[in-house]
Amino acid sequence: MKRLIEISENAREVLLSLEKSGYEAYIVGGCVRDAILGNQTNDYDITTSALPEEVKKVFSNNRVIETGIKHGTLTVILNGEAFEITTYRSDGKYTDSRHPDSVSFSSSLKEDLKRRDFTINALVCNSAGEVSDFYDGITDIERKTIRTIGNAEKRFSEDALRILRAVRFSSSLGFDIEQETKDAMVSLKSFLSKVSKERIANEINRTLCAKNVKNVLLENWQIFGEIIPEIKQMRNFDQRTKYHIYDVLEHTACVISNTPSVVYLRLAGLLHDTGKVYTFVADENGVGHFPNHSEKSVEIAKRYLDEYKYDNFTKERVIRLIKYHDLRFKTDRVSIKRYLNKFGAEFFFDLIELGKADKGAQNPELDTVKAYAESEAVAKDIISAGECFSFDTLAIKGNDLAEIGFSGKGIGNALKELLSEVIEEKTENTRAALLKSAEKFLN
């Protein structure tokens, strides 16, 4: 019995246009896989027996973009939706372990699918939604397995990025990587040096933000360790303290999965304790300590974020989160307002999220998450009540002080002192009270 999936009307129209012109045409790859899994997709890739010039003729009344015409790929715009259409092809040798040296067009769908990475990505469907499966992709979906098409070492030797794609699919789909495939990934992990830093960072980010990241990091630590060497040392590193029940790597994996699925938060989780392997000391009782491990972790994070060319916002946010991740929060109202003033509300709540994730990955018997939850609740109450903790919400501005005789640097200094008084609840945040208090700062 044929497996059927639903496809969009626009996708069906593209396929029918090619079929009516005498060509084979199929939706291919991840969109078919996702439809079988019951996940909605609006991203359709199409493979066809039509040559690029023939595709252009079929869609002569549509906008056609020559996306990668030398490799047989065109993008057709139909009713405002973009469809990437690629001619059946076979690839030549991959001497750079990334891109084929040459591409030749083929008339065989099976030959085209044979060059793809994993069985679950080699499924196709026609305009009727009928799925064709040449490489047991449906079986692997049912088994929740990621397996290469053909010889695993050959697939990864051709394109080393596939190693990270396997890791990412395992994280996003919750599938296990078949053993032969996993062995080849580990064996050829050094080939990742041939992949661009930006592509590696993109795959790492997507892996970190997926649902199965904890297990994936622990199972594929050798792959991650090829990119961030400290990860190899974190594995089985006993922290020797009552606060921790996991080694550094498992603690890290738990922290990542405990944070919201935001790239910079999960990167901070990944990198926040990388410095521990360099700063460990044991006291006279054999208890482990990690003095200044945050500073060392910042150093490692900077190296990774620079090498893999992250944007400035991500670098700044991750480094700042790691720098302060071990801050012990006080929970009284005045202290929270000081934190909000120092960090700003957005960063403060990010720091709380990382703190909750970090403490939640320690010894549960000690309940070290409580202080972070209390701090978060107090901060939300302060903001909701409109209480002052920054210059923006101070009831006077510099011109108010100028009117009573302040000038130059004296205005800024006075505003700082007055804001501190308001935060510490020594002066009410009203214009009259603040002007009266300001008088003592006049020479």
| Residues 107-128, mean pLDDT to the nearest whole number | 95
Burial of 238 (0-12, 13-18, 19+ CB in 10 A): exposed
Burial of 443 (0-12, 13-18, 19+ CB in 10 A): exposed
- In which band, very low, low, confident or very high, does the pLDDT at 233 lie, cut at 50, 70 and 90? very high
Q: At what angle do helices 333-343 and 345-359 cross, to 10 degrees?
A: 110
Please give the single-letter amino acid code of residue 394. Answer: L
Tell me the CA end-to-end span of the chain in Å, nearest whole number.
92
- Stretch (H or E) spanning 47: strand 45-48
DSSP string, 303-347: HHHHHTT--HHHHHHHHHHHHHTT-----SHHHHHHHHHHH-HHH
The pTM of the full predicted model, rounded to 2 decimals, is 0.92
| Residues 32-38, mean pLDDT to the nearest whole number | 94
- In which band, very low, low, confident or very high, does the pLDDT at 443 lie, cut at 50, 70 and 90? low
| Residues 114-136, mean pLDDT to the nearest whole number | 96
Q: What is the pLDDT of residues 162-183, one digit of tens each?
A: 999 999 999 999 999 999 999 9
pLDDT of residue 100 exceeding 90, the answer is no
Distance CA 318, CA 321 (A): 5
Q: What is the pLDDT of residues 261-286, one digit of tens each?
A: 999 999 999 999 999 999 999 999 99
Cβ atoms of 228 and 304 within 8 Å: the answer is yes
